[in-house]
Amino acid sequence: MKLWIIGAYGIVSTTAMVGGKNLEKGNIGKTGLVSELPWFEGIEKFAPLRFEFGGHDIRPLKNAYEAAIEHWNLNRHYDINLLENVKEELKRINAKKGTALNCGSGIEELGEIETLDNLTLSEIVERIEKDIKEFADEETVVINVASTEPLPAKSDYHESLDKFEEMIENDEKKYATASMLYAYASLKLGIPYANFTPSVGSSIPALKELAEERKVPHAGNDGKTGETLVKTTLAPMFLYRNLKVLGWMSYNILGDLDGKVLSHRDNKESKVVSKDRVLEKVLGYSPYSITEIQFFPSLVDNKTAFDFIHFEGFLGTKMKFYFIWDGIDAIVAAPLLIDIARFLLFAKKKGISGVVKEMGFFFKSPMDTNVVNTHEQFKILKRWFEELI
């Protein structure tokens, strides 16, 4: 299968590439891959663990190996031999110049960038389509792992496909974002699309309409990989035991380019919203909550979260629960790119189109469903797969 990754030179993307190519060679096990659990036996027939990677990026690096070694030197997040095993394959992955349209002030933190944003919207879309089309075949999935965008300016242009295409034709850049344009190009070409970020992606009505029209599956938003994964797994415990959550504080610190970008308020906003809403969806009410995300340079890709839960039990007695999540973001996120691509390709081959809400297990803010309870999401994913296989 082929993966076209938006943000191809990022640490999550390059870690997925290193993992994917080592999986092909039998150098590593399948730990971390949801799609390799016993309940999903048979997916190999539809989406084998053989990969070709491509993508867009705005950093002018030579190839994916240059990006991967840069990330490795900062993080040492896996055995260097695994990178050297696939060095030549990564050198052949050259990302195309992408767009960062309305991606916020945090993009400045990426350093030197090269974008298509001096072109008109029509020209940007044409270039994106051309790049993807040259790479793609019937086994291709597009995944957006680019930096988090600010919330977009609201507009009627987002409400229907006709209006969205009018926005492009009229070059109304104010109302477009990079993730929308990537999603539009992918879906227009009939290629499944997933949004691993809290950016808007394909979640607007116009692009949902396009996905239905082109009979193509899509999923998102915002990969559930760390602190929110724990939160949506733990919060149901309080619900099941009828314990009242009075307040939940989540304090996240992280480094690397992701942390730099999220240190900017406009880029951070959609991420905080995505992380914050899950409690109400799980519990059915909104306890007092604090969600903070702060840049901590020396952590690089180690993402640490400190969570404090104040809850009330029998006889009105108040108690406390604490946990600390200390994970390497790329290691927990990278296998999910492979999983999401496999399940989307499976969905396409089974004739599924539109939002695949059954894939909500992988996302903090899954489209077209309010189910964020990890236990329920996993049951839904299993049932969906069993019915289709």
Residues 200 and 257 in one domain: no
Q: Which amino acid is at 313?
A: G
pLDDT for position 271: 60
Q: Say whether both 254 and 179 belong to one domain.
A: no
Note the pLDDT of residue 105. 77
Specify the pLDDT at position 260.
73
* Pairing state between β 217-220 and 318-328: unpaired
Residue 264: predicted pLDDT:
67
User: What does pTM read for this prediction?
Assistant: 0.94
Would you state the structure tokens that stand for residue 15, as one six-digit string?
């870690």
* 292 and 174, same domain (yes or no): no
Same domain, 204 and 236: no
What's the CA gap between 374 and 328, in Å, rounded?
20
Q: Is 66 helix (H, G, I), strand (E, B) or coil?
A: helix
| Residue 303, domain CATH | 3.30.360.10
In a shared domain, residues 214 and 77: yes
Pairwise CA distance, residues 68 & 241, whole Å: 45
What total of structural domains would you count in the chain?
A: 2
pLDDT less than 50: residues of the chain = none
33 and 110 housed in the same domain? yes
**79 in the same domain as 155:** yes
Domain-terminating residue out of 327, 348, 367: 327
The single-letter code of the amino acid at 73 is N
- Residues 127 and 43 both lie in one domain: yes
Structure tokens at 167: 């926005």
Identify the domain boundary among 327, 355, 371.
327
pLDDT of residue 263: 67
157 neighbors 166 (Cβ within 8 angstroms): yes
Across-strand partners of 249? Answer: 290, 308
**What is the per-residue pLDDT for 106?**
77
Residue 203's domain comprises 2-223+331-388
What's the Cα-to-Cα distance from 32 to each of 11, 19, 28, 37, 125, rounded to whole Å? 17, 11, 11, 9, 35
Peptide bond into 94 cis (omega under 30): no
Task: Clarify whether residues 272 and 374 are in a common domain.
Answer: no
Instruction: State the Cα torsion 55-56-59-65 to the nearest 10°.
Output: 10
Residues 376 and 355 in one domain: yes
Instruction: Please state, in angstroms and rounded to a whole number, the distance separating the CA atoms of residues 41 and 339.
Output: 13
Instruction: Based on the fold, state whether residues 290 and 354 are members of the same structural domain.
Output: no
**Neighbour count for residue 228 (Cβ, 10 Å):** 25
- Which single residue is written with the structure tokens 């946990």? 323
Domain boundary among 300, 327, 354: 327
